[in-house]
Amino acid sequence: MMLCKLSYANIKKSMRDYAIYFFTLILGVAIFYVFNALESQTVMMNVSSSTAELIDLMMTMLSSVSVFVSFILGFLIIYASRFLMKRRNKEFGVYLTLGMSKRRISMILFFETLFIGILSLIVGLGVGVLLSQFMSLIVANMFEADLTKFAFIFSSSACIKTVVYFSIMYLIVMIFNTYSVSKCQLIDLLHGAKKSENIKLKNPILCILIFIVSSIVLGYAYYIVTVQFLSLQEVTDIIKPIIMGCVSTFFIFWSLSGLILRIAQSRKKFYYKGLNSFTLRQFSSKINTTVFSTTIICLMLFVTICLLSACLTMKNSMNANIKELAPVDFMFTNTMNMEKYYDNYRNYGYNDTQIKNSNLKVLEIFKVFNFDINDYSNEYIEVNTYATPDLTMNHTLGTKLDSIRKSFPFLQYDTMEPIMKISDYNKVARLYEIEEYSLNDDEYMIVADFQSMVHVRNMALENNETIHLFGKTLKPKYAECMDGFVEMSSNHINTGVILVADHVIDENYLYQNTIIGNYNTTDKEEIMKIEDTINALGKSESASEYVLASGTTKLSIKEATIGLSAMVTFIGLYLGVIFLISSAAIIGLKELSESSDNKERFKMLRKIGTDEKMINKALFRQIGIFFILPLILAMIHSIFGINFAMQILEVFGNDQLLPSIILTSVFIVFIYGGYFLITYYCSKNIIKEK
């Protein structure tokens, strides 16, 4: 009982000084519960079956991410406990001096960890339950769910998962604390706070050389992931610049740690101004551990910035793309003359009857199944796409083929190019309300919106490469690809459509027939019934005799986009916020521990006449150095990291990158900056004279 009272008193005494530790634990529990409670919240929503499947997939992925998050939080708790243990070395030394056994000290720590765990779980779950209600409203808004049945929900499954995961973490902390106490020596406990690492001034020439070499290696890693991005053929190719970046980051901080003090000492006016010498010596007194931890924190911040920026950009761009790239209700396409284009059509799952009937257009196939599109649409167009083995990318790239093939070896250069009449494309353009074009009889042009392929094609167009099509030689009208598309999608996927004058086309090479239009209703439920009717055609007895038209509809695109964007957003936020909190908490806890160790040093400053304002200013700068250094390099990393991410995600567009970066900056200022201020005020409270 006495040990329990002592543990309770210790917690009560430390609550104010180590508010960051308790705040981080509570925040970790709350976030863990919120993201794992989404499944229970979404049960009450009235969503379509396809949307429900997307929500189930999202929850499965979030559950997997939660396992990873638990490891991060577990590491954070153990890391925090390490510094809290160090903070109390003198206290444990007094206990041993008074005759208390190490086993009893371990029991005190056991009860303290137990009380802290119970307190953080209770408060964290309470905060999590409240936040989860707001999160469910965000989910409902994203999935456009019917909230008429929405109710306040407590997720028992999320609660159990949270309690189990955090109980395991606290159990590991208890074992760690017990082991740490068993290894303690009395003299180290009593005098540990007075020890500093020996400040060994590193050779400045060596530091400069390492800094220059590390910067060059880091620059080369940036070059690989940006300029040479398209030449990366394997996933393993990206591991090399990642390793180079991590190692370079470590050695940049290592070299800076040796240079900063040297440079400062060489500038006497700066070094001896105010308490600058004290601040720099404080910074250098823990230099060995600072380099490694600063590197880890820098990389975590880098991941946070890139993850949040990329995920938010992807989400915003996908939502914006629906209006631009899915401007009408439906698009049904049928592949024609398959016997001409498929030598081994059975390998693609088609039978002889289907191949024979592949001369039917979309409306003709609908007629076979007694489906009349006119019953459901009063606005649609019919267009054709052509293709020939005599016009592949090998031919359109012309004399630039060899040089382009070396730079982009992964492209399929023998794929037939899609060809359209300029009149057909303009019919699509009028319906989509995008730009129309005109061509002379001896001209061609290419419309595309997938930027990487636009870059490749422009290399040939700038060289004025001619093409030979159906016995005619055509020259490019424009020296670059023009913006445009035919196929509806949520992303920019048009790698290039060749447009030619109508008379150039040979009708024997008809490849695809397409109808595009709008339904005669805007009611979502009515549209769902129409599309269910169309989907049912594929289940009829005659379906095995025909190659049914593949359909793309605005509704299906919208639901898939909403599901994917929500998945990306929540996973990105989940990991991003956890990384950000972990980074800030690690620095904060370390600085609080340092402030506790340095109480006597600040007390000495007061004795020699230093006023409180100068002391607080020195403390502010000291803490600021540890917070700002990893953030600066992380931001530099992020410039290239985001560029790399945008190249991978360019199919989704990057028009929304700036708003996403601004929102990410708000997160960093609010959370990371908040931890900095809390750390400063808690540290000021620790060192102030009682």
Domain locations in the chain as residue ranges: 1-194, 327-553
The residue-averaged pLDDT of 575-593 equals: 84
Residue 311: pLDDT band (50, 70, 90) is: confident
CA distance 305 to 669: 12
Q: H-helix or E-strand containing 186?
A: helix 186-191
**Pick from 190, 169, 163, 171: nearest CA to 109:** 171
Who has greater pLDDT, 390 or 188?
390
pLDDT given at position 516: 94
pLDDT at 394 over 70: yes
pLDDT at 61 over 50: yes
Q: H-helix or E-strand containing 473?
A: strand 472-476
CB 368 within 8 A of CB 545: no
pLDDT given at position 181: 64
Residue 349: pLDDT band (50, 70, 90) is: low
pLDDT at 452 over 90: no
CB 391 within 8 A of CB 500: no
pLDDT at 294 over 80: yes
pLDDT given at position 88: 62
Residue 102: pLDDT band (50, 70, 90) is: low
Q: Left, alpha or beta for 325 (phi > 0: left; psi -120 to 50: alpha)?
A: alpha
pLDDT at 481 over 60: yes
Residue 606: pLDDT band (50, 70, 90) is: confident
Instruction: Give tens-digit pLDDT for 330-348.
Output: 999 888 877 766 665 555 5
Instruction: Give tens-digit pLDDT for 118-149.
Output: 888 888 888 888 888 777 666 666 665 555 55
Residue 431: pLDDT band (50, 70, 90) is: very high
Among 48-62, 419-433, 525-539, 545-559, the least confident range? 48-62
Count of alpha carbons within 13 angstroms of residue 665, beta-carbon side: 8
CB 445 within 8 A of CB 478: yes
pLDDT at 375 over 60: yes
The residue-averaged pLDDT of 85-107 equals: 66
Who has greater pLDDT, 121 or 14?
121
Who has greater pLDDT, 37 or 216?
216
pLDDT given at position 485: 92
CA distance 196 to 293: 17
pLDDT given at position 197: 47
CB 169 within 8 A of CB 73: yes
Highest mean pLDDT pick, 146-150, 471-475, 569-573, 654-658: 471-475
Unique residue bearing structure tokens 């005494």:
13
Count of alpha carbons within 13 angstroms of residue 268, beta-carbon side: 0
pLDDT given at position 634: 92
Who has greater pLDDT, 628 or 57?
628
pLDDT at 576 over 80: yes
CA distances to 194, 315, 533, 581 from 190, rounded to whole Å, are: 9, 55, 81, 33
Task: Measure CA 50 to chain center.
Answer: 25
Residue 505: pLDDT band (50, 70, 90) is: very high
Sheet with 419-421, strands from edge to edge, namely 467-469, 472-476, 443-447, 497-500, 419-421, 379-386, 510-518, 330-335, 550-553
pLDDT at 258 over 70: no
Instruction: Give tens-digit pLDDT for 612-630.
Output: 788 788 888 888 888 988 9
Query: What letters, b where the CB count within 10 A reaches 16 and e where it falls short, cover 541-565?
Result: eeeeebbbbebbbbbbbbbbbbbbb
Among 24-28, 153-157, 420-424, 482-486, the least confident range? 153-157
Instruction: Give tens-digit pLDDT for 632-690.
Output: 999 999 988 888 877 776 656 566 677 788 888 888 888 898 889 888 888 887 777 55
Who has greater pLDDT, 673 or 6?
673
CA distance 663 to 309: 8
Burial class of residue 636 (count of CB atoms within 10 Å of its CB; 0-12, 13-18, 19+): middle
Who has greater pLDDT, 368 or 290?
368
Who has greater pLDDT, 533 or 436?
436
Residue 86: pLDDT band (50, 70, 90) is: low
Residues 6+ apart with CB under 8 A from 28: 73, 76, 124, 166, 578, 581
Who has greater pLDDT, 185 or 215?
215
> Using alpha carbons only, what angle is made at residue 664 by residues 661 and 665, rounded to the nearest 5 degrees?
85
Mean pLDDT for all residues in the chain: 79
Instruction: Return the HEC string of 331-390.
Output: EEEEECCHHHHCCCHHHHCCCHHHHHHHHCCHHHHHHHCCCCHHHCCCEEEEEEEECCCC
pLDDT given at position 517: 93
Highest mean pLDDT pick, 163-167, 318-322, 467-471, 599-603: 467-471
Highest mean pLDDT pick, 223-227, 384-388, 572-576: 384-388
CA distance 664 to 160: 32
Is 150 strand, coil or helix? coil
pLDDT at 91 over 60: yes
Confirm whether pTM is higher than 0.85. Answer: no
The residue-averaged pLDDT of 95-105 equals: 67
